Amino acid sequence: MSSAPPPRLKHRLEWLLLKGLLGLVRAGDLPSAYRRVRRLAALGRRILTSEWAWANANLAMIYGAHLTPGQREKLVSLAFENIFFSYMESIRVHEIAFRDEGLERLHAVHGLGRGVVVVGVHVGCWEPGLKRLGGQVSPTAILYRHANNPLSEKTFMGLRAGYGVEFISRQNTREIVRAMQARKVMGFMTDINTREGGVTAPFLGVPAQCPPGPARLALKFNTPILPIIATRAGWGEAVFRVGEPIEPQAGGVSEEKVVALTGAINAAFVPWVHEFAEQYNWLHARWRARPDGSLWRPEQAVLANPTPAQPSERVLRLLGNG
């Protein structure tokens, strides 16, 4: 029997850096950890120049002249803070206190006995949201991307051990199908730039390449879809938000149905993303892959939306005059 190859030097160095960061965010009480992470986010804005460019481009594309340059820059800064806060909360997940909105929908759909396809996007504190989901319904499985670094993978999965959910690698098709056949609650993140094998559907008013899996599986197994997010209400406080269920069209799988259902999934998150725009992951190059196979640069994305959206009143109050 062959043994696993030893970790590469690069992996060891990455893991040592990760270990140091874990120590930094674990130390002290939760408010002091948030303050330290806020300082790290300010440093990250200067280092992560590609992410800064994409966040600016994405916001300029989605909101256009409805945001002043100063408001847009402030929103980018808040989005950076949100990402850093989200990673810190995934490490101190047991310290996050939740209240719920729409939780009865989750229990009602789960009670149908047909399984549930839970879909989410990168808003707020999504890792604590996974733990909250696992604590409400069982059995629950989450599709995830396996880390390239085996040492980091072991660390990440150790942190997730207390969530009460099963994690399935997105490459493990057999286990995904088994979970659906067993009528488990199956969770997917859907706002991912899908360069290969994606379907085209609008997201926030702009065509995006989207993962087809949630819609395809819901159609194949006649499983209801439930959009869920977890938004930050304060340091150490979050709201677990359950949307209206989406029923897949009967009659099996077709590409037309997959596209239509993917569009319905995307549409369910639009009000939430606009309402909590400072907590959305604008750093991700969400619209980079185009339907024709080309790849946008940030400066191309800025010019792509002829009908930009109006920011929510809550977000405008948060941004002030910029």
Q: Which pLDDT band, with edges at 50, 70 and 90, does 70 fall under?
A: very high
User: Distances in Å between the alpha carbon of 215 and those of 105, 161, 167, 248?
Assistant: 19, 28, 19, 8
Per-residue pLDDT reduced to its tens digit, 133-147? 999 999 999 998 876
Whether 92 has a pLDDT exceeding 60, the answer reads: yes
Residue 298: count of CB within 10 angstroms of its CB: 18
Nearest to 139 by CA among 113, 173, 104: 113
Where do the domains of the chain lie? 11-319
Q: Which pLDDT band, with edges at 50, 70 and 90, does 26 fall under?
A: confident
Which residues, 6+ apart, have CB-to-CB distance to 143 below 8 Å? 168, 169, 170, 176, 186, 187, 188, 189, 213
- CA dist 215 and 94 (Å) reads 32
Whether 301 has a pLDDT exceeding 80, the answer reads: yes
Whether 126 has a pLDDT exceeding 80, the answer reads: yes
Work out the average pLDDT over 70-83.
96
Is the CB of residue 276 less than 8 Å from the CB of residue 123?
A: yes
The predicted pLDDT at position 144 comes to 87
Q: Supply the pTM of this predicted model.
A: 0.92
Q: Which pLDDT band, with edges at 50, 70 and 90, does 2 fall under?
A: very low
Angle at which helices 213-221 and 255-275 cross, to 10°? 120
Whether 6 has a pLDDT exceeding 70, the answer reads: no
